[in-house]
Amino acid sequence: MSLTLYALCGADPARPFSPHVWKVAMALAHKGLSAQTVAVGFTDIPGIEAGATKTVPLLKDGETLVSDSFAIARYLEETYPDRPSLFGGPGGLATARLVEGWSQTQIHPLLTPILILDIHAMLAPIDQAYFRESREKRLGRTLEEAAAGAPAAIADLRTRLEPLRHTLRHQPFIGGETPLFADYIVFGALQWARTTSKTEILGADDPVALWFDRCLDLHGALGRSVTAA
Amino acid sequence: MSLTLYALCGADPARPFSPHVWKVAMALAHKGLSAQTVAVGFTDIPGIEAGATKTVPLLKDGETLVSDSFAIARYLEETYPDRPSLFGGPGGLATARLVEGWSQTQIHPLLTPILILDIHAMLAPIDQAYFRESREKRLGRTLEEAAAGAPAAIADLRTRLEPLRHTLRHQPFIGGETPLFADYIVFGALQWARTTSKTEILGADDPVALWFDRCLDLHGALGRSVTAA
């Protein structure tokens, strides 16, 4: 068993920051699997594994290549069924898609203006040029114009996280008494923020911040292996 | 086995409209259980079952009383384990809380201004007085002031439903190939709208509208047993 995880980094290869890669790093640790991490910049991605993917994470397990964080989590669940479950059964697997949808359509778009200039600043020069061009095209505005929305986004984000606060009034993790991949989905978003930006997004006593701290402590404090920005 | 479901109605006892009662009605049908429905107005609730609850749904199963829709779903899952599962395992049970949180903190507050005057109009006079006083106190504004927010709420709601559209790109129900209680949670919100108001909230070709139609067809078209407002 030889596992390799391609992980997005900036100029410092020791600081992976992609939310989707963090989901997979936590999923691997949850399964008790260790993988060699290979740091790649944005512009390295088309060259890895003979053009196997346009995005990371990319997991190589022996000769098998899997991209997309949710597909990787499913692959790990099917391939390593005797290790701790990432979904807690078929209902958890299905419902995790709504958690992914919530995180990606409601949380990520609010984090983008907050983090975008900090992410740009941590990239290698060749990746900075790629990032600026691709993100400005996607957003229809300059990075600086997008970043002007950060104060409003921070205020919105605090409200938009209410579904998680509601959940945490009933249980310590989205997965219940212990975490599941659904937790790692949302963890990935906040870890993206923690590893790229000094901006304070949550109050220290926010139940979401306390949950995020619990997630950082998981699996030998894997999440703390990269310090906060 | 004798089941009774106390369900909130307006002046017409044949038109239950509470989103939380609809969740339970669907959960009972999912389990293949039939219950006698007892229609109650808001001001009847303190008098039912010797003051057993401040809210409906209230389920009576033999001598057991359970209130709160999520607690009822858990009760049904534990009490009738050999019937079709409402959660698809422990992960589905836990993650359904986030779906509940999403529906109640992101969707319900946007439906409130859209529906509030229509709900008021369908109540019996004694319940109208209660509804106006309690809701105006809760909202900090008159019903009419709250309703002025309806156009903005409709626009917001279309965006706020993106997590469900994301899910439906992967599977026909939140529960996967077949529905689970997580589907009924969100169904309850849209059925609340369908049974109280003529306001068009979703475009006919919206994947959420198509999913809602699939939910209306479930369990002998139970949801269609009350016509649209």
Cis preceding-peptide flag for A13 (omega within 30 of 0):
no
Q: Chain-wide mean pLDDT for chain B?
A: 97
Interface test with A, best of B30, B70, B77, B98 (most A CBs within 10 A): B98
| Residues A107, A207 within the same domain | yes
Give dist(CA A169, CA B202) in Å, integer. 31
Nearest CA of chain B to the CA of A12: how many Å? 33
| Residues A61, A117 within the same domain | no
What is the three-class DSSP state of A66? Answer: strand
Give dist(CA B18, CA B195) in Å, integer. 9
The ipTM assigned to this model is: 0.97
Residue B228 lies in a domain: no
Q: What is the pLDDT of residues B145-164, one digit of tens each?
A: 999 999 999 999 999 999 99
CB-based contact B65:B52 (threshold 8 Å): yes
Residue B85 lies in a domain: no
| Residues B94, B54 within the same domain | no
B98 touches chain A (CB under 8 A): yes
| Residues A178, A73 within the same domain | no
Whether B162 sits inside 8 A of A99 (CB atoms) is no
Closest CA to B17 of B184, B147, B185, B194: B194
Two tokens, residue A12: 């410092």
Q: Provide the pLDDT for residue B1.
A: 63
In which residue are the tokens 């901006």 written? A199
| Residues A141, A203 within the same domain | yes
Give dist(CA A23, CA A190) in Å, integer. 11
What's the Cα-to-Cα distance from B80 to each of A73, B61, B76, B154, B179, rounded to whole Å? 31, 12, 6, 39, 17
| Residues A50, A127 within the same domain | no
CB-based contact B105:B192 (threshold 8 Å): no
Q: Provide the pLDDT for residue A17.
A: 96
Q: Which of A25, A49, A79 is the last residue of a domain?
A: A79
Whether A91 sits inside 8 A of B98 (CB atoms) is no
* Position A1 confidence tier, pLDDT thresholds 50, 70, 90: low
Closest CA to B188 of B120, B130, B91, B111: B111
What is the three-class DSSP state of B147? Answer: helix
Residue B227 lies in a domain: no
| Residues B57, B169 within the same domain | no
Q: What is the pLDDT of residues A58-108, one digit of tens each?
A: 999 999 999 999 999 999 999 999 999 999 999 999 999 999 999 999 999
- The CATH number given to whatever domain includes residue B157 is 1.20.1050.10
B182 touches chain A (CB under 8 A): yes
| Residues B176, B75 within the same domain | no
Whether A163 sits inside 8 A of B95 (CB atoms) is no
A95 touches chain B (CB under 8 A): yes
Q: Provide the pLDDT for residue A188.
A: 98
In which residue are the tokens 């290698």 written? A124
Range B194-202 average pLDDT: 96
Nearest CA of chain A to the CA of B12: how many Å? 33
CB-based contact B119:B146 (threshold 8 Å): no
Give dist(CA A167, CA A128) in Å, integer. 38
Residue A63 lies in a domain: yes
| Residues B43, B110 within the same domain | no
- How many CB atoms within 10 Å of residue B16? 24
Residue B211's domain spans which residues? 90-222
Give dist(CA A128, CA B217) in Å, integer. 51
Q: Which of A23, A48, A79 is the last residue of a domain?
A: A79
Range A173-191 average pLDDT: 98
Whether B92 sits inside 8 A of A90 (CB atoms) is yes
| Residues B118, B146 within the same domain | yes
How many domains, chain B? 2
Is-above-0.90 flag for pTM?
yes
Q: Helix B69-79 and helix B90-102: axis angle, to 10°?
A: 170
| Residues B75, B94 within the same domain | no
Residue A69 lies in a domain: yes
B176 touches chain A (CB under 8 A): yes
- How many CB atoms within 10 Å of residue A165? 15
Neighbouring residues of B129: CB distance < 8 A, sequence distance ≥ 6? none
All residues of chain A having their beta carbon less than 8 Å from the beta carbon of residue B94 are 88, 92, 171, 173-176, 180, 182
B173 touches chain A (CB under 8 A): yes
Q: Is B142's pLDDT higher than 90? A: yes
- How many CB atoms within 10 Å of residue A12? 13
Query: Which amino acid, B194?
Result: R
Q: Which of A79, A101, A124 is the last residue of a domain?
A: A79
Contacts of A134-139 with C-beta under 8 Å, sequence gap 24+, read A134/A42, A139/A112
Two tokens, residue A78: 């099917």
Tell me what percent of chain B is helix, strand and coil, each rounded to the nearest 5: 60, 10, 30
Nearest CA of chain A to the CA of B13: how many Å? 32
- How many CB atoms within 10 Å of residue A181? 32
| Residues B54, B145 within the same domain | no
All residues of chain B having their beta carbon less than 8 Å from the beta carbon of residue A100 are 166-167
Residue A85 lies in a domain: no
List strands edge to edge, sheet with B64-67: B36-40, B3-8, B58-61, B64-67
- How many CB atoms within 10 Å of residue B142? 13
Q: What is the pLDDT of residues A142-152, one digit of tens each?
A: 999 999 999 99
Q: Is B123's pLDDT higher than 80? A: yes
